[in-house]
Structure 1
């Protein structure tokens, strides 16, 4: 396996099974501290939410995992999720891409097509966070998605973009965002909630239900309106249908 230190905080691997798994191994061996990330051209076993795999063509997308070990309060785990999502969103906005949103809990959309996904894995010791690994897959130069509802920067901008350039911007931005006030981050995130104000169908444990999407709460739940009642949905208990 070829390992290249781009800087003392950024490692590049030509190919790896999973950047999340590789970074967790480095942390376990006490080799790295925040700020630090690992990125690759190709993952043989890339991970997505709900035990899904991340589909990506070799060298065409940004596949990266970030380490956070400075934030210890468990209640701030949703804050980290919002920060990485906001970092991606604000990069897309800086490229003048319109209709960008966060599809709760961990996908970034342009219109109704997915452009990025996030996977966070945490190590908890007692009542505190030991560290978090935040994996990101951003569709950059890929143009074929085998019938999936997905898009990429190349499809939108009609030109190729540099994975390395995007990584450096996201690296700098993300590590600034995580130390901002959690309520400020929530306010910024809630400007970009997918289907906000619209009726959405969810699969719940007790059946199918429609709600109007309202907000992403400070605790990471999705706030929705059920008639005149505001309720919160937990991501591991519901699934988007349409």
Structure 2
């Protein structure tokens, strides 16, 4: 159930060019006019500029640039994703908090966002550098009615969502490097970490972690990642509105998730392969048993990478690829 504050934000966002009387707000929210006034004061503390005019009512004329759960919800037109948002200025990891909340039965579609992570992790427990205020550090809690073996498809779906958003709102050409990285100009700009709690035949929850380097400068990229990592700012030579990008991701994800539920994995597979990094190219592939030179063909339904070895199609679940 949406909180009164969320409903108030939605009403004001939908009527940002007109005044809404305190009486009308009181009626729609089923609270007293003094309670409406108190909610307005709380929004002002959050950085909103609110204009109140006698005999006309209220309207918000400016919202803060800083991130908060309220500013992200302002104008967010999703149906279920992001109706509950936890925003933290600094946190060890959005994944850690997301898993704690998921274990405590937080609702499907809960979003956790941080300005900074002090212990951010990527795949294989690798450190993820989460510079304060420069990127998107976010986790989504999902409770899909899927069999556990299908969960890797959600990682592939998320990768296509990130590429769709970056291709739409920036002039850049993103690509998906298997299994979970987004590349621009052969350098990593984003990563995805999917974690699951499940029983044998039922998923309890899935937490999808998303990290995107948005407004990093050269000084923000660690020395050991120079030439390997980049940011949207470095590749486009301009800053980007992090709040708008978060909203774009949430809206696009909700839509793509529903298409996936309705139409299945083939839609995701086709889109993923359109963005696939070095698809059709030959690379050196190292497995525990062998090292060979073959071409990247695409992905399988279970998230495996399809490669060609001496004319034979091979499924790779774990491999070191010399991209």
Deviations 1:60-84 (A, max 9, x none): 0100001110332223212211221
Whose RCO is larger (CA < 8 A, sep 6+)? 1
C-alpha distance in 2, partners of 1:107/1:71? 26
Higher helix share: 2
1:226 aligns with 2:299: no
CA change 1:59–1:4 in 2 (3 A) is closer
C-alpha distance in 1, partners of 2:97/2:135? 18
Larger radius of gyration: 2
CA contact (8 A) 2:172 2:235 kept: no
Shift of 1:220: 0.3
1:211 aligns with 2:294: yes
C-alpha distance in 2, partners of 1:134/1:239? 23
TM-score normalised to structure 1 length:
0.92
CA change 1:229–1:97 in 2 (3 A) is farther
CA RMSD of aligned residues (A): 1.6
Q: Any idea what SS the aligned residue of 1:190 has?
A: helix
How many pairs does the alignment contain? Answer: 237
C-alpha distance in 2, partners of 1:12/1:157? 27
- Residue 239 of structure 1 is matched in structure 2 by 320
C-alpha distance in 2, partners of 1:97/1:195? 20
Deviations 1:189-210 (A, max 9, x none): 1101111111111221013222
Unmatched runs of 5 consecutive residues or more in structure 2:
1-66, 74-82
- Residue 29 of structure 1 is matched in structure 2 by 104
From 85, 92, 95, the equivalent of 1:17 is 92
C-alpha distance in 1, partners of 2:237/2:85? 28
1:188 aligns with 2:284: no
Q: Any idea what SS the aligned residue of 2:195 has?
A: strand
Higher strand share: 1
CA change 1:108–1:172 in 2 (3 A) is same
CA contact (8 A) 2:117 2:131 kept: no
- Residue 177 of structure 1 is matched in structure 2 by 256
Shift of 1:172: 1.2
